């Protein structure tokens, strides 16, 4: 819990951006957090989880506190569900594998998503037809100013597409301490999204299981997305934009092969990756696979911006801005960044 000075944050963010924190410390429980947030400290404070959804564009002139609260506990069960609490500092993918080993269903489609458990409700992470919203039960958070624990139910979190109260309404006001999930004792399989069914067929799976779905998702993600340990990235940099049916009809009349899927709400979710692929730094080129210095757009997935080595945060941010402007100019659609910019 010792506070260190002038610490590089490169090991603590998946982009591998080499910025420095004026002060840095890690906490393993709420008591350590409260000590670090002593009343006489007036420094701006940044809470850091797994660092997988953040882009640093400058040094942090304040106190960076890394959440390392761990532990996975089976609280109770009923005829349908098992309720499992995980510390916010638990690695998300390790938590998913822990659940699969015990046949607790509901998070298998979210395998290999980078980051920690604490970020999962904050971002309402999702993949292959499943979101945290589907399995979330309750979370405990610490109010930084009022210095007290607060419990958030599913409705309190106001989940939206890659969104929650912690990203806007209560941004930077709470530290998530732990999350409780309501997982199925009898699996409900989600295989009709993306290429899961085709991958299961390639794997020769005859009897469906949550482990088989997890393995299929891992194979798909590994083939499309770069490993942050090798190539710095934060996964999907942009959200898939949502438009009305009327807007989609207009877009389709101009661009016949535009990709869109109808949502439960009756709107159309467009594929941001496809939109980005259709644009580029020049009229006849695509952003997909583009590289300028060590900042680039991944060759297999245009949604992923990457640091090939020593790019700084401003270079990656500027590239994202160019991509945003080109998509807006061509399609009249404003993409929204999924990654938090510091």
Q: What is the DSSP string of 137-173?
A: EEEEEEETTTTEEEEEEHHHHT-BTTB-TTTTTTTTT
Measured at the CA of 154, the angle between CA 150 and CA 155, to 5 degrees, comes to 95
What average pLDDT score do residues 202-226 get? 92
Residue 66: per-residue pLDDT: 96
Query: How would residue 273 be classed by pLDDT, with cut points 50, 70 and 90?
Result: very high
pLDDT beyond 60 at 216:
yes
Query: How would residue 215 be classed by pLDDT, with cut points 50, 70 and 90?
Result: very high
pLDDT in tens, 125-154: 998 889 999 999 999 999 998 889 999 999
CA distance 97 to 178: 18
Residue 289: per-residue pLDDT: 93
Q: Where in the chain is the domain with CATH 3.90.78.10?
A: 232-341
Helix (H) or strand (E) holding 284: none
Residue 264: per-residue pLDDT: 79
pLDDT beyond 70 at 39:
no
Query: Using an 8 Å Cβ cutoff, are 180 and 83 in contact?
Result: yes
Residue 195: per-residue pLDDT: 86
pLDDT beyond 90 at 30:
yes
Token code pair at residue 2: 């010792």
What average pLDDT score do residues 204-225 get? 92
What average pLDDT score do residues 233-262 get? 88
With a pLDDT cut of 90, the percent of the chain lying above it is: 70
Q: Which of 52, 120, 164, 236 is catalytic?
A: 236
Q: Which of 68, 199, 315, 338 is catalytic?
A: 338
Fold for domain 4-67?
Answer: 3.30.43
Residue 41: per-residue pLDDT: 61
* 199 annotated active-site: no
CA distance 104 to 183: 6
Q: Which of 120, 140, 162, 315 is catalytic?
A: 162
pLDDT in tens, 297-317: 999 999 999 999 999 999 999
Token code pair at residue 231: 């190539």
| Average pLDDT in the chain | 92
**CATH 3.20.20.70 matches 232-341:** no
- Give the CA distances from residue 49 to residues 98, 234, 286, 328, in Å, rounded to whole numbers and listed in that order: 20, 13, 33, 32
Return the CATH class of domain 72-224.
alpha beta
pLDDT beyond 60 at 40:
no
Residue 211: per-residue pLDDT: 95
CA distance 9 to 20: 6
Q: Where in the chain is the domain with CATH 3.30.43.10?
A: 4-67
pLDDT beyond 80 at 58:
yes
* 162 annotated active-site: yes
Query: Using an 8 Å Cβ cutoff, are 7 and 46 in contact?
Result: no
* 14 annotated active-site: no
Query: How would residue 84 be classed by pLDDT, with cut points 50, 70 and 90?
Result: very high
Q: Where in the chain is the domain with CATH 3.30.465.10?
A: 72-224
pLDDT beyond 70 at 342:
yes
Query: How would residue 319 be classed by pLDDT, with cut points 50, 70 and 90?
Result: very high
């Amino acid at each position: 819990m010792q506070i260190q000075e002038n610490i590089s944050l490169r090991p603590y963010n998946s982009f591998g951006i080499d910025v420095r924190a004026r002060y840095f410390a890690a906490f393993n429980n709420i008591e350590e957090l409260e000590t670090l947030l002593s009343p006489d400290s007036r420094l701006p404070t940044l809470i850091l989880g797994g660092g997988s959804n953040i882009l640093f564009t400058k040094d942090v002139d304040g106190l960076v506190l890394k959440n390392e609260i761990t532990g996975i506990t089976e609280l109770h069960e009923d005829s349908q569900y098992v309720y499992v609490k995980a510390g916010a500092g638990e690695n998300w993918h390790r938590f998913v594998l822990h659940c699969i080993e015990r046949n607790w269903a509901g998070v298998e489609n979210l395998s290999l998503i980078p980051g920690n458990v604490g970020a999962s409700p904050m971002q309402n992470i999702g993949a292959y037809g499943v979101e945290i919203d589907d399995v979330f039960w309750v979370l405990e958070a610490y109010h930084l100013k009022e210095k007290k624990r607060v419990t958030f139910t599913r409705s309190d979190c106001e989940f939206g597409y890659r969104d929650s109260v912690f990203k806007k309404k209560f941004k930077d006001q709470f530290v998530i301490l732990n999350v409780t999930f309501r997982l199925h004792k009898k699996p409900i399989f989600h295989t009709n999204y993306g290429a899961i069914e085709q991958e299961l067929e390639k794997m020769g799976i005859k009897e469906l299981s949550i482990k088989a779905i997890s393995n299929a998702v891992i194979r798909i993600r590994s083939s499309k997305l770069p490993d942050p340990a090798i190539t710095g990235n934060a996964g999907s940099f942009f959200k898939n934009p949502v438009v009305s049916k009327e807007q989609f009809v207009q877009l389709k009349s101009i661009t016949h092969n535009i990709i869109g899927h109808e949502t439960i709400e009756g709107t159309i979710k467009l594929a941001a990756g496809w939109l980005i692929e259709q644009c580029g730094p020049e009229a006849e080129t695509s952003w997909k696979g583009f590289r300028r210095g060590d900042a680039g757009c991944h060759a297999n997935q245009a949604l992923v911006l990457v640091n090939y080595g020593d790019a700084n945060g401003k270079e990656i941010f500027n590239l994202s801005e160019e991509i945003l402007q080109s998509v807006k100019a061509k399609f009249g659609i404003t993409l929204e960044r999924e990654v938090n910019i510091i």
